[in-house]
Amino acid sequence: MSAAADRLNLTSGHLNAGRKRSSSSVSLKAVEKPFKVTVIGSGNWGTTIAKVVAENCKGYPEVFAPLVQMWVFEEDINGEKLTEIINTRHQNVKYLPGITLPDNLVANPDLIDSVKDVDIIVFNIPHQFLPRICSQLKGHVNPHVRAISCLKGFEVGAKGVQLLSSYITEELGIQCGALSGANIATEVAQEHWSETTVAYHIPKDFRGEGKDVDHKVLKALFHRPYFHVSVIEDVAGISICGALKNVVALGCGFVEGLGWGNNASAAIQRVGLGEIIRFGQMFFPESREETYYQESAGVADLITTCAGGRNVKVARLMATSGKDAWECEKELLNGQSAQGLITCKEVHEWLETCGSVEDFPLFEAVYQIVYNNYPMKNLPDMIEELDLHED
Ligand SMILES: NC(=O)c1ccc[n+]([C@@H]2O[C@H](COP(=O)([O-])OP(=O)(O)OC[C@H]3O[C@@H](n4cnc5c(N)ncnc54)[C@H](O)[C@@H]3O)[C@@H](O)[C@H]2O)c1
């Protein structure tokens, strides 16, 4: 073997040392009774993941019931119901226009009916709607149902800061993991190759291989030739990064809008990654540091989101127009939401409660700019000034 090939192997050995990830292929035996799957949510990402899931349910009839339901928050689109459009034209014309959906994906406007006799629920809605969805579902979901949350954000309340997967477990009494990664929905919907991370703990009441959801089943549910899935255990790590990268992306949008260029954006991402890891260490000590740099849900998602997701766009417009965040969100996103705007407030409230605001200068600066009109050109000083308190 050449010296160059040796060096490449060595490097790959270093990069993969200590990694415990699933292989890229899907290997599955038939299950006792195929799992019935429902996706709750039909926005840009909700519809994209429903497409992925429906393709796999059709492809593995020995593992999944082919028909997949997608709960849709009903809307009127030029006199037609969105569910009718999806079920007849197989397109979500409002949230994922131009993408043909599989015909085994059925839109259902009735939330309770959509989860009837279901085995796996995939939650994929903007997180501000989760409490209401959970309270409606309470009492209608069997405790053996398993769930995956594709939501980004935290639940902050009397119990402190909570992962959304833990909130779902607590509210509905079902085991819930998470899916997160460098995944701009439209690119995944167009079947451009990307990676993602699914995290799931096998629960104590696991009924056994072939009868219950395990890592292999989850791989089969989400992995596509254009959507490569790694399944791990660290639900906290992938959820923290998924939520907080949106706050960092707002910071990147501010410096972009100010015309400061790539160096400034990279600086914001560097500080942001440090704060994301610190947040995990302080509040979710079970999260694993390597998740942040080894998994798609870690630094890769941070880079993608900061390169041009919705949060960057909204923040950029705030900088160039002087308009407030809500006006910019309305103007740019056609009913979709920039989750960083809510997350930065939740994070601020939580950090204030714990007296830890000064440990997270970037998160605090983003909050002050969005909610209290602090001048964004002071961002470098705000970060540095607060940094001084650390010593
Ligand atoms: N879009 C992406 O590229 C992307 C990628 C990864 C993760 N995510 C995350 O996925 C989650 C879902 O986002 P999305 O992109 O599918 O949503 P979206 O912002 O595209 O759409 C909003 C959705 O909310 C629904 N809605 C509006 N009012 C509602 C109400 N009162 N109750 C319930 N639902 C209501 C709308 O019908 C629509 O389906 C978010 O947490 C987001 O951060 C998005």
Query: Which tens digit of pLDDT belongs to each residue from 172-224?
Result: 999 999 999 999 999 999 999 999 999 999 999 999 999 999 999 999 999 99
pLDDT surpassing 60 at residue 23: no
pLDDT for the residue 387: 52
124 CA to middle of ligand 1, Å?
A: 7
pLDDT for the residue 30: 79
pLDDT surpassing 90 at residue 25: no
Q: Reduced to 3 states, what is the DSSP secondary structure of residue 249?
A: helix
Phi and psi angles of residue 255, each rounded to the nearest 5 degrees, phi first: -70, -30
Q: Counting atoms of ligand 1 from 1, which one is nearest the CA of 186?
A: 3
For 340, the token pair is 């960083």
For 256, the token pair is 């972009």
Answer yes or no: are the C-beta atoms of 314 and 338 closer than 8 Å. yes
Which residues sit in the known binding site for NAD(+)? Answer: 41-46, 73, 129, 185, 310, 339
pLDDT for the residue 159: 79
Q: Average of pLDDT values for 363-383?
A: 96
Q: Counting atoms of ligand 1 from 1, which one is nearest the CA of 339?
A: 43
pLDDT surpassing 90 at residue 60: yes
Inter-residue long-range contacts of 319-322, CB under 8 Å, 24+ positions, other chains counted = 319/253, 319/254, 319/256, 319/257, 319/258, 319/376, 320/257
Homologous superfamily of the 239-388 domain (CATH) = N-(1-d-carboxylethyl)-l-norvaline Dehydrogenase; domain 2 (1.10.1040.10)
pLDDT for the residue 28: 76
pLDDT class for 309, splitting at 50, 70, 90?
confident
Average pLDDT, the chain: 92
pLDDT surpassing 90 at residue 278: yes
Q: Counting atoms of ligand 1 from 1, which one is nearest the CA of 48?
A: 16
Higher-scoring residue by pLDDT: 192, 30: 192
Residue type, 97: P
pLDDT for the residue 325: 97
125 CA to middle of ligand 1, Å?
A: 4
- CA atoms of 175 and 278, how far apart (whole Å): 27
126 CA to middle of ligand 1, Å?
A: 4
pLDDT class for 311, splitting at 50, 70, 90?
very high
Give the DSSP letter of residue 35. Answer: B
pLDDT class for 333, splitting at 50, 70, 90?
very high
Task: Please indicate whether residue 245 is annotated as part of the active site.
Answer: yes
Phi and psi angles of residue 35, each rounded to the nearest 5 degrees, phi first: -75, 135
- CA atoms of 163 and 174, how far apart (whole Å): 14
Whose structure tokens read 């799931």? 200
For the domain spanning 37-233, the CATH number is 3.40.50.720
Q: Average of pLDDT values for 211-238?
A: 97
Residues with CB under 6 A from ligand 1: 41-46, 73, 95, 124-127, 129, 150-153, 183-185, 336-337, 339
Q: Structural domain boundaries of the chain?
A: 37-233, 239-388
Answer yes or no: are the C-beta atoms of 130 and 151 closer than 8 Å. yes
> Could you count the other beta carbons within 10 Å of the beta carbon of residue 323?
15
9 CA to middle of ligand 1, Å?
A: 42
Q: Average of pLDDT values for 257-265?
A: 97
> For 118-261, where are the E strands, in sequence order?
120-123, 146-149, 154-157, 160-163, 175-180, 194-199, 227-232
What secondary structure does DSSP assign to 157-198, as a single string? ETTEEEEHHHHHHHHH--EEEEEE-S--HHHHHTT--EEEEE
pLDDT class for 245, splitting at 50, 70, 90?
very high
pLDDT surpassing 50 at residue 15: no
pLDDT for the residue 1: 44
Answer yes or no: are the C-beta atoms of 248 and 268 closer than 8 Å. yes
